[in-house]
Amino acid sequence: MFEFDLSAQSGSARAGVFHTPHGDLLTPVFAPVGTAATVKALTPLQLKDLGATLVLSNTYHLYLRPGDELVREMGGLHQFMQWPGPMLTDSGGFQVFSLSDTRKIDDDGVTFKSHIDGSLHRFTPEKSIAVQENLGADIIMAFDECAPPLDRDYNRAALNRTHAWAARCQAAQKRADQALFGIVQGGVFYDLREESARYLTGLDFPGYAIGGLAVGESKEQMHAVLEAMHACLPAHKPRYLMGVGSPEDLVNGVKRGIDVFDCVLPTRVARNGAALTRTGRLNMKNAPFARDPRPVEEGCTCYCCANFTRAYVRHLITSEEILAAVLLTIHNVHLLLTLTREMRQSILAGTFDAYAADFLSHYQSSPGQGNKSDSDARPRPAESFS
Ligand SMILES: [Zn+2]
């Protein structure tokens, strides 16, 4: 259980198999985000048909509503939301820390106010693990502090806390059927990242996440940190880049040795009327699509593109029909899952470099997104309202 078999490597890119109690994960793998125990606009059956293998849910949201003990009473998260495959929960830390006006951090934990009713709560490393054990995902995360990536002093102080908390999470873990991943922090500072990787590797987690990226640093800074991490992390453990990404971020991450990704981007932008494609993002609300008989993305084999026109999808969006969100979510999730499968195949075939170069030469970053990594790519506290 929780062994990670590396099947092939192509440069730094890796294809592997991670064994979990609810099935094997073929990596690289992208996890659609089911913030409140549902991937918005999709049924579990649709997710399965799209080829999803791993789904992420958010500890902060489920702790507040409906409550982790209720989920446990209902048989755990897999049973509750009827997702039979591997699942991952985060620690709740990212959402709690982003409640910047209503939370108080000390060395023992964080006290915060619920975004739902203003009630007061407290997360400690032990509490986060207890909540995640009630939820019952296959992969659970250490409670860490995600510091602003460019603030060295903040990162220095937060790193000590993150490391002490990682050891406390490990000591608090009671269930043997969940893989607890440590989270490397340290912002854009290589020495802090290396120190963090060294410390956490010493604790011997079954997998390692790289946290504190895609939160406002530049893409070049993110890539440089990933390259530095490649040498520091053990080869025979999975590596998870949290909160990433866009199609190009997935390719750039795999190229630098990342095995696991999650991101709200495909589902969130779908609800805002945007399609992710192999050449960039399309705003399907745009007037020129009103009489466009083509599918959302030509050549795409998803249910949306196989059956419907851009004209129809745009009509659904402008009429505020629920089906608009459903169809665009199907297309966007299909694209990211297809990309990760293609990358895996190209790594196994030894042709990943050519695949990545070809993909990146056709892809255009969204205007306005500029050179920044996508800083709006994780579920915020109020995400469950949107
Ligand atoms: Zn499609």
pLDDT digits (tens, 9 = 90+) for 39-89: 999 999 999 999 999 999 999 999 999 999 999 999 999 999 999 999 999
Estimate the share of the chain in helix, then strand, then coil, as percent rounded to the nearest 5.
45, 20, 40
Rounded distance from Cα 309 to ligand 1 centre (Å): 10
Q: State the pLDDT at residue 348.
A: 98
Residue spans of the chain under pLDDT 50: 370, 375, 384-386
Residue 199, CA distances (Å) to 118, 164, 182 in order: 37, 10, 10
Alpha carbon distances (Å) from 128 to 48, 58, 94: 29, 11, 12
Tell me the per-residue pLDDT of 132-182, one tens digit each, with 9 for 90 and over: 999 999 999 999 998 999 999 999 999 999 999 999 999 999 999 999 999
Beta-carbon-side half-sphere exposure of residue 175 (alpha carbons within 13 Å): 18
Number of CB atoms found within 10 A of residue 17's CB = 14
pLDDT at position 369 is 53
> Residue 30 Cα, ligand 1 centroid: separation in angstroms?
17
* Ligand 1 center–CA 366 separation, angstroms: 18
Cβ atoms within 10 Å of 208's Cβ, excluding its own: 25
Question: Distance between CA atoms of 182 and 218, rounded to whole angstroms?
Answer: 24
Mean pLDDT, the chain, rounded, equals 94
Q: Give the model's pLDDT for residue 101.
A: 83
336 CA distance to ligand 1 centroid (A)? 11
Look at residue 100 in the predicted model and tell me its pLDDT: 78
Among residues 203, 74, 206, 211, the alpha carbon closest in space to that of 155 is found at: 211
Query: What pLDDT shows up at residue 374?
Result: 52
Nearest one of 252, 265, 264 to 225, comparing CA atoms = 252
How many A from CA of 247 to the centre of ligand 1?
Answer: 14
Measured in Å, residue 69 CA sits from the centre of ligand 1 at 38
The CA 189 to ligand 1 mean position distance, Å, reads 39
Which of 256, 266, 254 is CA-nearest to residue 344? Answer: 254
What is the per-residue pLDDT for 102?
85
Please confirm, yes or no, whether 90 is among the known catalytic residues: yes
The amino acid sitting at 215 is V
Catalytic residue (choose from 90, 138, 259, 374) = 90
Expressed in angstroms and rounded, the spacing between residue 227 Cα and the centre of ligand 1 is 32
What's the whole-model pTM score?
A: 0.95
- Out of 138, 144, 249, 262, which one is annotated catalytic? 262
**Digit-coded pLDDT (tens) for 305-316:** 999 999 999 999
Between CA 141 and CA 181 the distance in angstroms is 5
